[in-house]
């Protein structure tokens, strides 16, 4: 591609034509709905990419992103800056309480050690959710002989998946983790000036990460999950896309398995093989 001197950068705003081209492409290929009210947000986030690539205008960026080279090299970076990745350890803690106090004891009654308990954190962002799950399941395993588990974390953003696999967090990020679990599952940096912690190796090895687009027709070979957490992800899709995504998630759940959604997400009036157990907790028929 052609590169430009940064002094030639065009500070004009993103045109409606450029916004419509980009938002239509993002919706068609990734299911993320960007109404006109999101134009300023998209403009601000893509400005970082224009400056990184030294591209002087949004028009030129559109030309690049729709070129063969742009599709090959820039697409993944565009989606990284477009997607929102807000997450916390023990977010919506009532869900983890229900997992510990209801689901795990129920499953363990008929549990076979030859078949690990499988959990999918769909839309895992920087890893706080799957590592919270790993803590909860590890505590259960300590008091239930033979219980084992595997956790998959997926996201569309390669950038956040890299951070999740590294598993290093600032001390303020791990503030919601109970003190006893911090002592058991977090390692402090040996550098006293580095206020970060890292998830212990025995927990990290229980979680595998991979990139996944919810709009893909086939989610691949992952299947037969006992529990799927897909929280605060569907809010970025329109209603028809939400239903399609949930149906695909259900196809990956064992009969009797559980699906957890975010507190602001609803499946009302959708034709799904689910029974509601608690607010935003569903059981596969």
Q: What is the CATH number of the domain that holds 260?
A: 3.40.50.150
Please give the share of the chain, as a percent, with pLDDT higher than 70. Answer: 95
- Residue 97 confidence class, pLDDT cut points 50, 70, 90: very high
Q: Are residues 121 and 72 in the same domain?
A: no
- The whole-number average pLDDT for the span 258-280 is 93
For range 222-234, the mean pLDDT: 93
Domain range for 154 is: 93-284
Q: Is the pLDDT of residue 236 over 90?
A: no
The pLDDT confidence band at residue 12, using thresholds 50, 70 and 90, is: low
pTM (two decimals)? 0.85
Task: Indicate the residue among 53, 82, 111 that finishes a domain.
Answer: 82
How far apart are the C-alpha atoms of 135 and 104, rounded to whole Å? 13
Asked if 274 and 282 touch (Cβ cutoff 8 Å), the reply is yes
Q: Are residues 189 and 228 in the same domain?
A: yes
Name the band, by pLDDT with cuts 50, 70 and 90, for residue 125: very high
Write down the pLDDT at residue 110: 83
CA–CA gap between residue 159 and residue 77 (Å, rounded): 8
Residues 256 and 166 in one domain: yes
Please report whether residue 87 resides in a domain. no
The SS3 assignment for 81 reads helix
Is residue 3 over pLDDT 60? no
- 257's tokens: 């398995």
Taken as a whole, the chain contains a residue count of 285
Are 107 and 26 within one domain?
no
CATH number at residue 33: 1.10.155.10
- Do residues 214 and 83 make contact, with C-beta atoms less than 8 angstroms apart? no
Same domain for 253 and 182: yes
**CA gap 85, 87 in Å, rounded:** 6
> Do 22 and 137 belong to one domain?
no
Residue with tokens 């492409």: 25
Tell me the angle at which helices 16-30 and 39-53 cross, rounded to the nearest 10 degrees. 90
Q: Is residue 205 part of a domain?
A: yes
198 and 173 part of one domain: yes
For residue 1, being part of any structural domain is answered with: no
pLDDT band at residue 5 under the 50/70/90 scheme: very low
User: What residues contact 239, with CB distance under 8 A and at least 6 apart?
Assistant: none
What's phi and psi for 226, nearest 5 deg?
-80, -35
75 and 98 share a domain?
no
Beta strands in the chain (DSSP E): 117-122, 149-155, 168-170, 186-188, 196-199, 207-211, 225-230, 253-261, 274-278, 281-284
> Which uninterrupted H or E stretch holds 122?
strand 117-122
Question: pLDDT confidence of 10, banded at 50, 70, 90?
Answer: low
For the chain, percent of residues with pLDDT exceeding 90:
70
pLDDT above 60 for 1: no
Residue that finishes a domain, picked among 25, 58, 82? 82
Residue 88 lies in a domain: no
Determine the average pLDDT of the residues in 271-279. 95
DSSP structure class, residue 195: -
Same domain for 277 and 203, yes or no, is yes
Number of structural domains in the chain: 2
Higher pLDDT: 203 or 29? It is: 203
Position of tokens 């960007």? Answer: 34
User: How far apart (Å, rounded) are the C-alpha atoms in residues 182 and 174?
Assistant: 8
């Amino acid at each position: 591609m052609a590169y430009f001197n940064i002094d030639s950068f065009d500070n004009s705003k993103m045109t409606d034509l450029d916004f419509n081209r980009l938002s239509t492409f993002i919706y068609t290929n990734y299911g993320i709905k960007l109404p006109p009210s999101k134009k300023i947000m998209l403009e601000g986030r893509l400005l970082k990419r224009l400056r990184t690539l030294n591209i002087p205008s949004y028009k030129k960026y559109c030309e690049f992103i729709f070129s063969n080279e742009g599709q090959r090299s820039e697409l993944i970076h565009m989606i990284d800056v477009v997607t929102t990745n807000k997450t916390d350890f023990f977010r919506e803690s009532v869900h983890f309480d229900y997992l510990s106090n209801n689901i795990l004891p129920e499953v363990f009654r008929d549990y076979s050690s030859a078949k690990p308990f499988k959990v999918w954190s769909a839309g895992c962002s920087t890893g706080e959710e799957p590592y919270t799950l790993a803590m909860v399941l590890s505590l259960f395993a300590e008091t239930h002989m033979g219980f084992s588990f595997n956790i998959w974390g997926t996201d569309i953003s390669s950038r956040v998946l890299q951070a999740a696999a590294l598993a290093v967090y600032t001390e303020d990020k791990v503030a919601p983790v109970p003190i006893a679990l911090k002592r058991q599952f977090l390692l402090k940096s040996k550098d006293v000036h580095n206020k970060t912690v890292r998830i212990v190796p025995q927990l990290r090895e229980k979680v595998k990460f991979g990139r996944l687009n919810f709009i893909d027709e086939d989610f691949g070979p992952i299947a037969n999950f006992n529990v799927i957490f897909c929280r605060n992800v569907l809010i970025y899709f329109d209603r028809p896309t939400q239903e399609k995504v949930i149906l695909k998630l259900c196809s990956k759940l064992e009969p009797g398995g559980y699906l957890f959604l975010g507190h602001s997400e609803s499946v009302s009036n959708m034709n799904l093989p689910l029974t509601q157990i608690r607010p935003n907790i569903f059981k596969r028929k």
